[in-house]
Amino acid sequence: MATYAAPGTDGSVVSFKPRYDHFIGGEYVAPAKGQYFENPTPITGQTFTEVARGTADDIEKALDAAEAAAPAWGRTSVGERANVLTKMADRIEANLEMIAIAESWENGKACRETLVADIPLAIDHLRYFAGAIRAQEGGLSQIDNDTVAYHFHEPLGVVGQIIPWNFPILMAIWKLAPAIAAGNAVVLKPAEQTPASIHVLMDVVADLLPAGVINIVNGFGVEAGKPLASSSRIRKIAFTGETTTGRLISQYASENLIPVTLELGGKSPNVFFDDVAAQQDAFYDKALEGFTMFALNQGEVCTCPSRALIQGGMYDEFLGQAVKRTEQVKQGNPLDTDTMIGAQASNDQFEKILSYIDIGRQEGAKILTGGEKADLGGDLSGGYYIQPTVFEGHNKMRVFQEEIFGPVVSVARFNDYDDAMSIANDTLYGLGAGVWSRDANTAYRAGRDIQAGRVWVNNYHAYPAHAAFGGYKQSGIGRENHKMMLDHYQQTKNILQSY
């Protein structure tokens, strides 16, 4: 086990600036209203930097810069853009440790996740879209002897992007990579809980891009996010966050008929069929590990498998093992490399999760393990830590229906296949799902029948760049990742030419 030094102390691989302004037109710009807000680390609760508090005036300035940059960037060759993305990936890789520790410090997540998952995945996304834009083809059809129709792709121009705090760097790159690969200029608003990570990222890559291609305006939702999403100067808004916020974004954008991509909340079922317990072997062990995925990233994952559905024949035995496995999930200092789960990202989130644990208790769900805040002592006693918690109950309870976004799973029993599908689909969400079965037919049918944009079969929480990701029902509109994402950032031009 290694422990990274806390930023601001001797030997740290990261040094945050005392203050972060907006990044507009290739330079740091003070907020129009001159206001800043404090940014604490959830690891100890202490403020470590302050951040410009953006308003509509700052958004207008960023849109000016993006509009100035968009035409020339949109005319660059795909090869040129692909090279920029590749160089961004290389730079991030060369600074991986620094960016990973910065993100852990600001978000509270375990550095083993940021070091081996979040930042490497972001790098992979950049490389994937560098390849995808080069490989993209247009089309040509002959209409008659004298006429051809040809189709090609044009960038949209200036796009707005608003991201959450749970994977700050990865969410930024998921959005930026396809947008700039397609030739757009971007105004991005980070979450108010995790803006500094985005500036650490920009400090590493900004000089690779022409000024104004990526602009970052910090700030809060209504003050900075709303003017961006409501602007008639953007050609698209891409949003990741809560379903309730997604509805608002959709309303703002509809005023100007601006297309939206919405990546929203979830309440994902993780379905374990009886045949998992046919043998106590590596597959069984993998399924138990799959159960504990609800605690990964402190449960702050849109696809958190927060409803575990276990078939009656193995219910007691499997659940007993799953609870034991949950108790082995190591919670600790996020800067220790053997910590599996760290701190919740903010005090608000911490309080919200604890209030849901109370709601579960009040509605009669039984707590099988956890259910309390965790005091890790020393410097960490001011941080926001919650024990991984397993509830047992039924699917009509609020803890089965509402997104808690914490290390909390609600477990219910099912009898047969139809029962499993009916419980799994009894939710307003449809983002992710897990299916565990040794039987290929059962696994295939469940993958087909669960109403969710991503179904993991016999695995969970993998996010390769070439697999499309997005929600059914109230979990979203549109998809991210996969080369199809380029279509969301481009218009199709058709020229019908006679000769």
Specify which residues 49 forms β-bridges with: 39
Judged by CB under 6 A, the stretch of 121-129, 180-188, 243-251, 288-296 that binds ligand NAD is: 243-251
106, 192, 274, 392: residue in contact with ligand NAD (rule CB under 6 A): 192
Full strand arrangement of the beta sheet holding 19-20:
19-20, 47-52, 36-40
Judged by CB under 6 A, the stretch of 119-127, 260-268, 362-370, 415-423 that binds ligand NAD is: 260-268
Catalytic-residue membership of 263: yes
Q: Which amino acid is at 425?
A: N
104, 114, 161, 166: residue in contact with ligand NAD (rule CB under 6 A): 166
Query: What residues contact 451, with CB distance under 8 A and at least 6 apart?
Result: 425, 430, 472, 473
Judged by CB under 6 A, the stretch of 89-97, 145-153, 245-253, 291-299 that binds ligand NAD is: 245-253
- By C-beta, is 159 or 380 nearer to ligand NAD? 159
45, 120, 131, 221: residue in contact with ligand NAD (rule CB under 6 A): 221
Neighbours of 499 (CB within 10 A): 6
Q: How many residues of this chain bind ligand NAD (CB under 6 A)? A: 30
Query: Strands 472-473, 454-457: parallel, antiparallel or unpaired by DSSP?
Result: unpaired
**Structural element, H or E, at residue 153:** strand 147-155
- 152 forms part of the interface with ligand NAD (CB under 6 A): no
Catalytic residue (one of 113, 263, 403, 480)? 263
- 431 forms part of the interface with ligand NAD (CB under 6 A): yes
- Residues 379-398 touching ligand NAD, rule: CB under 6 A, are none
Least distance (Å) from ligand NAD to the CB of residue 217?
11
31, 40, 160, 164: residue in contact with ligand NAD (rule CB under 6 A): 164
| Helices of type H across 184-299 | 195-205, 226-229, 243-255, 282-291
| φ, ψ of residue 401 in degrees (nearest 5) | -105, -25
106, 113, 263, 392: residue in contact with ligand NAD (rule CB under 6 A): 263
Judged by CB under 6 A, the stretch of 31-39, 205-213, 220-228, 481-489 that binds ligand NAD is: 220-228
| Contact (CB, 8 A) for 309 and 435 | no
- By C-beta, is 268 or 442 nearer to ligand NAD? 268
User: What distance in Å separates the CA atoms of residue 299 and residue 144, rounded to the nearest whole number?
Assistant: 58
Least distance (Å) from ligand NAD to the CB of residue 256?
14
Q: Which amino acid is at 294?
A: F
- 234 forms part of the interface with ligand NAD (CB under 6 A): no
Q: Which two structure tokens, joined as six digits, stand for 27?
A: 């330079």
Specify which residues 455 forms β-bridges with: 433
- By C-beta, is 104 or 333 nearer to ligand NAD? 104
- Pick from 409, 346, 410, 307: which is nearest to 166 by CA? 346
User: What distance in Å separates the CA atoms of residue 492 and residue 149, rounded to the nearest whole number?
Assistant: 12
- By C-beta, is 222 or 257 nearer to ligand NAD? 222
Neighbours of 3 (CB within 10 A): 13
Least distance (Å) from ligand NAD to the CB of residue 262?
8
The residues annotated with a catalytic role in the active site are 263
